[in-house]
Amino acid sequence: MSRLGFAVALFLLAPLASPEGGFPLPPREVFPRDMPRYPNLWVFVDSTLVSSYEKAVRLVTEDLRTNLELTENHGRLSNPEGTDFEATVEHLQPWRGADPALAHGHAFHIRYYNRPLERSGRHKVRWKGVEYYLVAASAHYEVEHGNPLHPDVESCPICGRTGWYAKEQGNLVERVHDPLGVELATMGKIRDERVVLPSGRPALGVCNTEASFVTTDPKMNTQRIAIVVLRKGWQKKKEYCVRDAD
């Protein structure tokens, strides 16, 4: 076989696009056109842990819902962005800077994209010899929804283009709000600080982060993609991560 023929054969054999990190994530085209950003939170659920894809989705969404005190919205959404359903928690980390006009609390907002994965058959992948269900979400952290300043305050030390993110260029949601959302969903923290939930409890992430990478693929238009892997014993690892993190 010629070198070109070999390369073509290899391409055809590859079952899924293999972006940075070598994780078997599906291409952008699998998702609805009105999804504005590529999902930034990917949970691989070992298929032996659950009896169906629906249960894999529930395992992940229930963990996030209870540990971040999310309110889910399954009804008609004002801004659906191609999602299955969304969930939010409001009024976190109230901030009051020198300018009282900029005072605001924060919202964590997550949209799930699992129906398109299932429809296209991309909800199940084999990775390193193990079969996983894939659960995809787009998470971000921003100015709370009821506030007239929603969603952006560029100068905010919590949700703005400041600190670790001061040098980020381009869309604030993609470059700053998105990675902050991933940090809260996985670690229960924002900029390394534990977030306190409306009930007064500390926020707990799903933990079990296998990898996170900054992508350069223009179709993956979000600053960072996190890969979480739930395999047997994942709750133990979670307990450890929660204890260890404080």
Interacting residue ranges for Zn ion, rule: CB under 5 A: 109, 153, 156, 158-159
Burial, 50: exposed, middle or buried (Cβ in 10 Å; 0-12, 13-18, 19+)?
A: middle
Which residue's CB is nearer to Zn ion, number 113 or number 133? 113
Least Å from the CB of residue 48 to Zn ion:
35
Which residue's CB is nearer to Zn ion, number 139 or number 229? Answer: 139
In terms of C-beta density within 10 A (0-12 exposed, 13-18 middle, 19 or more buried), how is residue 64 classed? buried
Q: How far is the CB of 160 from Zn ion (least distance, A)?
A: 6
CB of 67 to Zn ion, least distance (A): 19
Residue whose CB is less far from Zn ion, 25 or 156? 156
The DSSP symbol for 196 reads: B
* Torsion, Cα of 140, 146, 148, 151 (10° steps): 10
Nearest to Zn ion of 15, 146 (CB atom): 146
Nearer to Zn ion, 47 or 88 (CB): 88
Smallest distance from Zn ion to CB 101, Å: 13
Q: Are β-strands 189-190 and 104-112 bridged in parallel, bridged antiparallel, or unpaired?
A: unpaired
Q: What is the nearest approach in angstroms of Zn ion to the Cβ of residue 124?
A: 29
Minimum distance from CB of 104 to Zn ion (Å)? 6
Least distance to Zn ion, CB of residue 95, Å: 5
Four-CA torsion 102, 107, 114, 239, nearest 10 degrees: 140
Between 45 and 197, name the residue whose CB sits nearer to Zn ion. 197
The four Cα atoms 206, 176, 110, 81 give a dihedral, to 10 degrees, of -150
User: 29: number of CA atoms within 13 Å, CB side?
Assistant: 2
Cβ–Cβ < 8 Å for 122, 15: no
Helix residue ranges per DSSP H, the chain:
3-13, 53-67, 115-119, 172, 178-187, 234-245
Judged by beta carbon, residue 35 or residue 159, the one nearer Zn ion is: 159
